[in-house]
Amino acid sequence: MSFDRTRLPAPSDYYTGTAALKFCERKGKWRTTECRFHGHDSMRIHAATGAFVCMAGWGARGGDVLAYHMAEHGQDFITAAKALDCWLEDDKPPTRRARRIAIETLDSLKTPEALLRISTVVAVTGLSESSIRRKVASGDFLAPVKDGTRCTRWVSAKVQNWLRAKGAQ
Interior CA angle at 84 toward 100 and 143, to 5°?
A: 70
CB-CB neighbours of 24 under 10 Å: 10
For position 53 contacting Zn ion by CB under 5 A, the verdict is: no
When the beta carbons of 35 and 80 are compared against Zn ion, the nearer one is 35
Among 3, 12, 56, 126, binds Zn ion (CB under 5 A): 56
Note whether 132 binds Zn ion by CB under 5 A: no
Q: Is 106 in the site for Zn ion (CB under 5 A)?
A: no
Q: SS3 breakdown of the chain: % helix, strand, coil, rounded to 5?
A: 45, 20, 40
Query: Binding of Zn ion at residue 35 (CB under 5 A)?
Result: yes
Provide φ and ψ at 151, rounded to 5°. -80, 140
Taking CB under 5 A as the binding criterion, the range among 51-59, 71-79, 85-93, 124-132 that sits at the site for Zn ion is: 51-59
User: What single-letter DSSP state applies at residue 54?
Assistant: E
Contacts with Zn ion by CB under 5 A lie at: 35, 37-38, 54, 56
